[in-house]
Amino acid sequence: MAQIRAEIRLSTQELRDDIPFFTKVLGMRLDMIYPADDPQVAVFSGHGLRLRVEKGADEPPATLRILTDDPHGFAGGALELTAPNGTRVEIAELNPPLVMPQTVHSFVVRRLADQAPWVIGRAGMQYRDLIPDRLGGSIIASHIRIPDGGPVPDMVHYHTVGFQLIFCYRGWVDLVYEDQGPPFRLHAGNCVIQPPEIRHRVLFASDNIEVIEIGVPAEHVTTIDHDMDLPNERVNPERLFQGQRFVHHRAETADWKPFRVPGFTARDTTIAQHTGNVAGVQVARKGKGDVPMVRHDADILFGFVMEGTMMLEGEGRAPFALSAGDAFVIPPDMDTRFARASDDFELLEVSLPGVFQTLLSST
């Protein structure tokens, strides 16, 4: 098999000035230099890079990012440097800590009938944004669909997140997860949480599959793992991933109990207890009795109408007629009522944290 190497070419006006910078300051290796009597080209390698510094080349100055687990111990502690040839060098964290933005609370209603755009995202899937303002970057909620079923062009990957939920809304999808055994089918009404950095892959989808995906924070990194094959040999369903345990909730085994809002019943997915109360997920249905005006003290409270209809009443707001496919966010301390729910009404509710207070309104 033929050998292949790739180089990044950088321009310089005086090669002799660049050699000590790339070797001594950046700690790269000088692999090649020529011609001997008047060097015009030097090739350096290191940190996963191969650089060709060429005298008189046409390229404008470039920027190199060097990632290390000790930025202040690299290059004498400087986080930004400029090489003699003008190359800008940034020194950054190899694994930066996950930053959780402070929630910017707002009352949000996103209706399917309003024709919110579907965009093509990762692996050819179609995405509809359910929280356009993303509450200041604290959360993203996506309605995802794949119209044509079959194999999904996905790769083993993981997400650097604080919390992530996949709820199967329509159809089914085949998934496989690190340490969780062989692939399995996620059916409509069921859900999984993807703990931080658990490796996984989407394998196969039914026609017209639809899922609701919640991610915290809104902007998070997806990393492809080229080295892991799934399923992996080890099976350890009790493993904790940064304090969270994988959950595959099945609707058929769930218990229905009174919901936090009188007049409704709900099934708890047990996600709150398996995430250390980072988040909670419940599915609510119409029950019996009057439905009062209530308020809550959760940081984030998201709802998605899966079936049926209702009127969402809120203080100082005209009522919103909601139906299947509509989503909303209720900020803390706002009086609201889930009024006139139809008999087939079904609501997916996601909260952060998982356990919080719901109080009857004093108005």
Final residue of a domain: which of 249, 280, 311?
249
Q: Are residues 127 and 60 in the same domain?
A: no
pLDDT at 148 (0 to 100): 85
- How many domains does the structure of the chain reveal? 3
Q: What are phi and psi of 17, to 5 degrees?
A: -75, -25
Evaluate if pTM is beyond 0.85.
Answer: yes
Q: What is the pLDDT of residues 251-302, one digit of tens each?
A: 999 999 999 999 999 999 999 999 999 999 999 999 999 999 999 999 999 9
pLDDT at position 176 over 90: yes
Split at pLDDT 50, 70, 90, the class of 195 is very high
The whole-number pLDDT of residue 347 equals: 98
Buried/exposed code over 258-290 (b: 16+ C-beta within 10 A; e: otherwise): ebbbebbebbbbbbbebbeebbbbbbbbbbeee
Q: Do both 205 and 258 map to the same domain?
A: no
pLDDT for the residue 316: 87
Contact (CB, 8 A) for 280 and 272: yes
Distance between alpha carbon 66 and the CA centroid of its chain, in Å? 24
Q: pLDDT tens across 2-14, in order?
A: 899 899 999 999 9
Q: Inform me whether the pLDDT recorded for 315 exceeds 60.
A: yes
Please check whether residues 282 and 302 belong to one and the same domain. yes
Sheet holding 80-82, edge to edge: 63-68, 88-93, 80-82
Domain that holds residue 147: 114-249
Strand, coil or helix: what is 306? Answer: strand
Which residues are within 8 A (CB) of 186 and not within 5 positions of it... i.e. 6 or more apart?
166, 168, 172, 173, 174, 175, 192, 248
Is residue 126 within a helix (H) or strand (E), and if so which, with residue range? Answer: strand 126-129
Amino acid identity of residue 80, one-letter, is E
Residues constituting the chain = 363
In a domain, 104, yes or no: no
- Asked if residue 260 and residue 244 are part of one domain, the reply reads no
Asked if residue 126 and residue 218 are part of one domain, the reply reads: yes
Residue 273 backbone phi and psi in degrees, to 5: -75, -25
Both 265 and 349 in one domain: the answer is yes
Residue 223 CA, chain-centre distance (Å), reads 11
Task: Indicate whether 356 and 258 sit together in one domain.
Answer: yes
234, 249, 264: which is the final residue of a domain?
Answer: 249
Strands (E), 171-277: 172-177, 184-187, 191-193, 200-205, 209-216, 221-224, 240-241, 244-245, 247-249, 256-258, 264-268
